[in-house]
């Protein structure tokens, strides 16, 4: 009988948690970007391999929250550490004082934790990896310390074997064709948000929420007609998202449509709308309504 269990991926923003999730599962489950606060809620990604089922939980990067959205994000990351079999703490630099925040949470949970040093493809010398390892030594009784590259999928066999030690024999939690707990709507909305993250700068990417308003099969054209709403916090941001002559919105729409078509093997007809909801990130009710609360 195979093994199965839950593995939470935690770490600072931008260390590559979502990239690692996608690479391990072998499908784009979570959106990724060079910007912090890309991941806003916990996302499950499931890998079925050799009779074993790995249920990975990707989390928002842990940081000191400043607004309602941030508080929900931090809560999601912390709660995802309860009742799991193993934790992957992803880092890409030597230990710093700012890592103590996460270290304390890990100590508090006391779960088997694998320190995953990511982005080794970017490190120039092997001694750079050693420097990171040494800086984390003695901080926690890590189960293992494993350098990887989520980008190149290096040392994944080693990583999966290390995780397997903490999973249990027994029936699997999810059917084999189930790769994520996210709805199709949520995944589409996230893909649209990802394109906005890449297309905009400064405060704009963080001020955006995306919701799928309607999704209808068009039998005549054999397409899926999707209407999505992009919500921003200020009029000026709406102007930026729409762009001169609507060019920015068009670009976002084209990129999102292409990727949605590819991932879901669909022909989507995507229409984007933009709306201002003043300071929505500071309003707990709105944060919940946009799908980030509990
Ligand atoms: P998260 O915030 O921890 O979820 O990080 P993301 O997965 O969104 O990745 C943040 C940035 O790091 C993105 O630009 C990724 O392409 C990049 N990244 C992630 N993993 C790797 C890696 O193994 N190697 C390199 N070179 N870049 C990576
Ligand atoms: K990111
Ligand atoms: Mg992420």
Of the chain, the percentage scoring pLDDT greater than 70 comes to 100
pTM for this prediction: 0.96
3-169 falls under which CATH superfamily?
P-loop containing nucleotide triphosphate hydrolases (3.40.50.300)
Choose among 292, 294, 267: nearest CA to 210: 292
Interacting residues of 252 by C-beta distance below 8 A, sequence separation 6+? 192, 195, 196, 199, 241, 272
- Largest distance between two CA atoms of the chain: 64
ipTM of the modeled complex: 1.00
pLDDT of residue 144: 98
Is 246 or 63 the better-scoring residue by pLDDT?
Answer: 246
Give the C-alpha separation, 36 to 73, whole Å. 12
Query: What token pair was written down for 239?
Result: 């102007």
- Topology of 184-289 in CATH? GMP Synthetase; Chain A, domain 3 (3.30.300)
Q: How confident is the model at residue 135 (pLDDT cuts 50, 70, 90)?
A: very high
Atom of ligand 1 at shortest distance to CA of 152? 23
Choose among 205, 199, 271: nearest CA to 233: 205
Task: Please tell me the distance between residue 48's alpha carbon and the centre of ligand 1 in angstroms.
Answer: 23
Interacting residues of 149 by C-beta distance below 8 A, sequence separation 6+? 118, 119, 120, 121, 155
Query: What token pair was written down for 50?
Result: 């050799």
60 labeled binding residue: yes
Q: Is the pLDDT of residue 113 over 80?
A: yes
What is the best residue among 24, 32, 132 to mutate for testing ligand 1's pocket, by most ligand atoms within 8 Å of CB? Answer: 32
pLDDT of residue 62: 82
Ligand 1 pocket: which residues have CB below 6 Å? 11, 13-19, 32-34, 38-39, 61, 118-119, 121-122, 149-151
Give the C-alpha separation, 234 to 225, whole Å. 28
Helix, coil or strand: residue 2: coil
What residue segments make up the domains of the chain, in order of their start? 3-169, 184-289
């Amino acid at each position: 009988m195979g093994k199965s269990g839950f593995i939470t991926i935690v770490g600072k923003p931008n260390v590559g948690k979502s990239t690692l999730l996608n690479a391990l599962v072998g499908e784009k489950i979570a959106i990724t970007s060079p910007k912090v606060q890309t991941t806003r809620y916990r996302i499950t990604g499931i890998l079925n391999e050799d009779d074993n089922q790995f249920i990975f939980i990707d989390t928002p990067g842990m940081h000191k929250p400043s607004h309602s959205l941030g508080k929900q994000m931090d809560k999601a990351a912390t709660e995802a550490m309860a009742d799991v079999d193993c934790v992957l703490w992803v880092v890409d630099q030597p230990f710093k004082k700012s890592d103590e925040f996460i270290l304390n949470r890990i100590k508090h949970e006391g779960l088997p934790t694998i320190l995953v040093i990511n982005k080794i493809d970017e490190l120039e010398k092997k001694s750079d990896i050693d420097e990171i390892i040494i800086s984390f030594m003695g901080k926690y009784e890590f189960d293992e310390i494993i350098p990887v590259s989520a980008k190149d999928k290096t040392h994944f066999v080693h990583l999966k074997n290390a995780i397997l030690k903490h999973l249990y024999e027994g029936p699997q939690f999810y059917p084999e064709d189930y790769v994520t707990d996210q709805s199709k709507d949520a995944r589409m909305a996230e893909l649209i948000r990802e394109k906005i993250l890449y297309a905009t700068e400064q405060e704009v990417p963080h001020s955006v929420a995306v919701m799928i308003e309607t999704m209808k099969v068009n039998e005549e054209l054999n397409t899926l007609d999707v209407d999505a709403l992009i919500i921003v916090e200020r009029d000026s941001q709406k102007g930026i998202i729409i762009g001169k002559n609507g060019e920015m919105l068009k670009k976002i729409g084209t990129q999102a449509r292409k990727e949605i078509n590819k991932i879901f093997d669909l022909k989507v007809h995507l229409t984007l709308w933009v709306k201002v909801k003043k300071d929505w990130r500071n309003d707990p009710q709105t944060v919940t309504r946009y799908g980030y609360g509990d």
